[in-house]
Amino acid sequence: MSEAGDERAIWAELFELEPPPAEEDQGTRRRGLLGRLRENLSRPRQAISPQLAGIFAPKLITADVWDELEEALITADCGMDASIALVDQLREEAGQGRITNGSELATALATAVGGLMAPEPPRISLRASPTVILVVGVNGSGKTTTVGKLAHRLSELGQKVVIGAADTFRAAAVDQLAVWAERSGAQLVRQGPGADPGAVAFDAVSSARARGADVVLVDTAGRLQTQRNLMDELRKVSAVVGKADPTAPHETLLVLDATTGQNGLSQARLFGEAVPLSGVVLTKLDGTAKGGIAVAINRELGIPIKLAGVGEKLQDLQPFDAKAYAQAIFSAPE
Ligand SMILES: Nc1nc2c(ncn2[C@@H]2O[C@H](COP(=O)(O)OP(=O)(O)O)[C@@H](O)[C@H]2O)c(=O)[nH]1
Ligand SMILES: [Mg+2]
Ligand nearest to the CA of 167: 2
Quick check: CB of 288 below 6 Å from ligand 1? no
Q: Who wins on pLDDT, 267 or 39? A: 267
User: What is residue 63's predicted lDDT score, i.e. its pLDDT?
Assistant: 86
Residue 117 Cα to ligand 2 middle (Å): 28
d(CA 312, CA 194): 27
Cβ contact 155:184 at 8 Å:
yes
User: Does the CB atom of residue 283 touch ligand 1 within 6 A?
Assistant: yes
Distance of CA 250 to the CA centre of its chain: 17
pLDDT at 2: 66
**Mean per-residue pLDDT for 240-263?**
92
- Cα distances (Å, whole numbers) of residue 6 to 21, 31, 236, 307: 11, 11, 39, 17
pLDDT tens across 290-331, in order? 778 889 888 888 889 999 998 998 889 999 988 888 887 787
H helices of 245-292, in order, are 263-274
Mean pLDDT of the chain: 86
**Cα separation of the two ends of the chain:** 27
- Residues 258-293 have pLDDT tens digits of 888 778 888 888 899 899 999 999 999 887 767 788
Q: What is the pLDDT of residue 41?
A: 57
Residues, Cβ < 5 Å to ion ligand 2:
143-144, 173
Q: What is the pLDDT averaged over residues 86-104?
A: 94
Q: Is 122 in the pocket of ligand 1 (CB under 6 A)?
A: no
pLDDT band at residue 49 under the 50/70/90 scheme: low
Average pLDDT over residues 138-167: 95
Closest residue by Cα to atom 25, ligand 1, is: 312
Q: Do 150 and 124 form a contact (C-beta atoms < 8 A)? A: no
Pocket test for ligand 1, best of 40, 136, 145 (most atoms within 8 A of CB): 145
Q: Are 245 and 127 in contact (CB under 8 A)?
A: no
DSSP 172: H
Q: Which amino acid is at 94?
A: A
CA of 204 to the centre of ligand 2 (A): 17
Q: Specify the residue with its C-alpha closest to ligand 1, atom 4.
A: 312
Nearest CA to ligand 1 atom 13: 142
For the stretch 168-223, pLDDT in tens is 887 788 898 999 999 999 999 999 888 999 999 999 999 999 999 999 999 998 87
Cβ pair 291, 76 in contact under 8 A: yes
CA distance 27 to 25: 6
Stretch 22-35: mean pLDDT = 51
- Compute the CA torsion angle 65, 71, 75, 79 (nearest 10 deg): 110
Confidence (pLDDT) at 323: 84
Which three-class secondary structure state does DSSP give residue 187? strand
DSSP output for 2-26? -HHHHHHHHHHHHTTPPPPSS---H
pLDDT at residue 31, rounded to an integer: 47
CA of 21 to the centre of ligand 1 (A): 32
What confidence category does residue 1 fall into, taking pLDDT thresholds of 50, 70 and 90?
low
Residue 25 pLDDT exceeds 60: no
Among 19-23, 160-164, 236-240, 265-269, which stretch is predicted with the lowest mean pLDDT?
Answer: 19-23
